């Protein structure tokens, strides 16, 4: 079985699966059980300043988007950072770390954006013996109204400033957790890098309203008839998170900056995808909240089986492998031509591909007598919509044309040469350069 041992920022854990800072890591009881179940590390639920603890609502704090089979696709939450006293959390972190030296414990922190506040909490956190800290610059609700969380994460200058304080007053790795509620993720990542961050982690939750009750006209979760936006996470946010990870991984200004990938990781495959985009490890919240801690066993066995199949002996063999293949649209090969092909034996004659292509794509599917659906290559632009709406997996496939063949749609011979938009004759910029 492949060895999943992963070293991230010099912290070695038996596997790359860490629990993200959230309810699963809120207390000693949870974290001990998580470690017993097999998690490689945890980022402890975010700690706040010493003093009166944070106050949460006493009504529902979650809203959920379900799939047709009631599978949880996304969770929206209005929970704040830990509402337990700082002292209690610090004592528990120290105790658990002592008992599990081979697992990572990272303390997530969110205190006011003032040097004195960070200077006060960092030595206390260091005393616990935890492996590093994560700066929560991501929480989009509640705390951000008080000038913390996403309110810091949306201002690159603040990120750089606070990161610098942390590097000055704390000796172990500093991870900066980024908010996705920003137009261009590269700016906060660059700021973290400039401030001396050892790594960035992303994403925190996406600002959201999941639903509105049409009897009371209150957003859900509703607290006495009123709702407030929350933070969205789970499988639904994975594509957003992966794009942001890739943007940072391929940005020359942050290339090589370690990344911890977060957002919708539910299976080993999700983890492998994040890692192939440059993440040194992954963090998980919604999947543990939905299925319990033991889901990590599925992740461990799935990842090691896949690594065995591929001949990878260490996670470093595939970390970052997809990064060189992420490019800008303008560099995609415009000489690559494909056509949709329907496997008649697999087809159940539902007609979804026909409806989609006829009404909203290129009228490239014929419906022949006996509900036989066939692709008309002379119209097909290979958009993939029919593949995406077909209920039978692999029933429709995209078949690349061989160079030298003539594309019946354009009448042009398919070239074997790579040619992109930057040199295309229709590109005014390319014409001007001639
Ligand atoms: C109920 C809940 C509470 C959370 N609390 C925190 C928190 O205290 N600190 C933090 O950095 N992130 C917090 N998060 C965000 C998660 O750590 C994680 O970034 C996010 O849920 C995306 O991962 P997922 O898709 O695996 O859930 C919370 C998420 C949820 C669902
Ligand atoms: S790939 Fe697009 S254009 Fe071609 S048949 Fe399918 S839906 Fe129609
Ligand atoms: S959507 Fe798929 S199964 Fe349905 S008719 Fe088209 S090819 Fe057949």
Distance 290 CA to ligand 1 centre (A): 13
Annotated domain spans of the chain: 6-325, 330-433
Q: Which atom of ligand 3 is nearest to the CA of 351?
A: 5
pLDDT digits (tens, 9 = 90+) for 28-56: 999 999 999 999 999 999 999 988 888 88
**What does the DSSP assignment read for 279-345?**
EEEEEESHHHHHH-TTHHHHHHHHHHHHHHHHT--SGGGTTTTTGGG---GGGS-TT--EEEEE-TT
Place of tokens 């799935």: 302
Choose one of 231, 260, 287 to mutate for the ligand 1 pocket test, by most ligand atoms within 8 angstroms of C-beta. Answer: 231
Place of tokens 């700690």: 47
Q: Does residue 148 have a pLDDT over 80? A: no
| CATH assignment, 330-433 | 3.30.70.20
219: β partners: 212
Q: Do domains 6-325 and 330-433 have the same CATH topology?
A: no
Rg, Å, the chain Cα set: 25
Distance 124 CA to ligand 1 centre (A): 24
Mean pLDDT of 124-129: 98
pLDDT digits (tens, 9 = 90+) for 190-223: 999 999 999 999 999 999 999 999 999 999 999 8
**Polymer length of the chain:** 434
Q: Are 211 and 232 in contact (CB under 8 A)?
A: no
Average pLDDT over the chain, rounded to whole? 95
Looking at per-residue pLDDT, the higher value among 232 and 57 belongs to 232
Q: Which residues does a 6 A CB cutoff place in the pocket of ligand 1? A: 20-23, 45-46, 75, 77, 79, 81, 108, 136, 138-139, 177, 204-205, 233-234, 237, 262-265, 284-287
Q: How far is CA 288 from CA 17, 30, 35, 322, 368, in A?
A: 11, 11, 13, 27, 48
> How is residue 133 written in tokens?
């800290």
Choose one of 365, 373, 407 to mutate for the ligand 2 pocket test, by most ligand atoms within 8 angstroms of C-beta. Answer: 365
3-state secondary structure of 284: strand
Distance 298 CA to ligand 1 centre (A): 21
What percentage of the chain reaches a pLDDT higher than 90?
A: 89
pLDDT digits (tens, 9 = 90+) for 332-384: 999 999 999 999 999 999 999 999 999 999 999 999 999 999 999 999 999 99
3-state secondary structure of 200: strand
Q: What are phi and psi of 267, to 5 degrees?
A: -130, 170
Q: 139, 279, 353, 380: which is the annotated catalytic residue?
A: 139
Q: Does residue 433 have a pLDDT over 80? A: no
Please tell me the predicted confidence (pLDDT) of residue 139: 75
Q: Is the CB of 395 under 6 A from ligand 2?
A: no
Domain 6-325 bears CATH identifier 3.20.20.70: yes
Nearest CA to ligand 2 atom 2: 383
Mean pLDDT of 236-242: 98
206: β partners: 232
- Residues contacting 262, CB < 8 A, separation 6+: 20, 177, 201, 202, 203, 204, 241, 282, 283, 284, 285
Mean pLDDT of 8-25: 98
Please tell me the predicted confidence (pLDDT) of residue 144: 72
Nearest ligand to residue 376 Cα: 2
Identify the band that residue 291 occupies on the pLDDT scale cut at 50, 70 and 90: very high
Identify the band that residue 164 occupies on the pLDDT scale cut at 50, 70 and 90: very high
Provide the CA 369 distance to its chain's centre, in angstroms: 46
Phi/psi zone of residue 413: left (φ > 0), alpha (ψ -120 to 50 degrees), beta? beta
3-state secondary structure of 101: coil
Let me know if 139 is a catalytic residue.
yes
Q: Is the CB of 384 under 6 A from ligand 2?
A: yes
């Amino acid at each position: 079985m492949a060895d999943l041992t992963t070293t991230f920022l010099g912290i070695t854990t038996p596997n790359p699966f860490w629990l993200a800072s959230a309810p699963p890591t809120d207390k000693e009881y949870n974290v001990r059980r998580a470690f017993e179940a097999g998690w490689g590390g945890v980022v402890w639920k975010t700690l706040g300043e010493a003093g009166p603890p944070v106050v949460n609502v006493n009504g529902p704090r979650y809203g959920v988007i379900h799939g047709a089979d009631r599978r949880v696709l996304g969770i929206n939450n209005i929970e704040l950072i830990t509402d337990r006293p700082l002292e209690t959390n610090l004592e528990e972190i120290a105790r658990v770390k002592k008992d599990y030296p081979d697992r990572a414990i990272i303390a997530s922190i969110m205190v006011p954006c003032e040097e004195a506040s960070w200077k006060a909490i960092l030595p206390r956190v260091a005393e616990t013996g935890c492996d590093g800290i994560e700066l929560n610059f991501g929480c989009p609700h509640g705390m951000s109204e008080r000038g913390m969380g996403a309110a810091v994460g949306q201002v690159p200058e603040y990120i750089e400033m606070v990161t610098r304080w942390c590097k000055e007053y704390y000796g172990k790795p500093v991870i900066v957790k980024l908010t996705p509620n920003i137009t261009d993720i590269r700016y906060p990542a660059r700021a973290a890098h400039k401030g001396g961050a050892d790594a960035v982690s992303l994403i925190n939750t996406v600002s959201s309203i999941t639903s509105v009750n049409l009897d009371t006209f209150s957003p859900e979760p509703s607290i006495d008839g009123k709702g407030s936006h929350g933070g969205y996470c789970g499988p639904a946010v994975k594509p957003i998170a992966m794009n942001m990870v890739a943007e940072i991984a391929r940005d020359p200004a942050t290339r090589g900056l370690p990344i911890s990938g977060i957002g919708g990781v539910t299976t080993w495959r999700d983890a492998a995808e994040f890692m192939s985009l440059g993440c040194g490890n992954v963090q998980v919240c919604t999947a543990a909240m939905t299925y319990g801690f033991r889901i990590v066993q599925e992740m461990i066995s799935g990842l090691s089986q896949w690594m065995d199949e591929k001949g990878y002996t260490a996670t470093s063999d595939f970390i970052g492998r997809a990064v060189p293949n992420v490019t800008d649209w303008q560099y995609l090969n415009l000489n690559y031509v494909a056509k949709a092909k329907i496997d008649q034996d697999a087809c159940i004659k539902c007609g979804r591909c026909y409806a989609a292509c006829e009404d909203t794509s290129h009228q490239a599917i014929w419906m022949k007598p006996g509900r036989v659906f066939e692709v008309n290559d002379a119209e097909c632009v290979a958009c993939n919509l029919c593949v995406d709406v077909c209920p039978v997996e692999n029933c429709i496939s995209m078949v690349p044309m061989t160079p030298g063949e003539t594309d019946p749609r354009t009448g042009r011979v398919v070239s074997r040469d790579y040619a992109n938009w930057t040199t295309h004759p229709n590109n005014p910029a390319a014409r001007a350069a001639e």
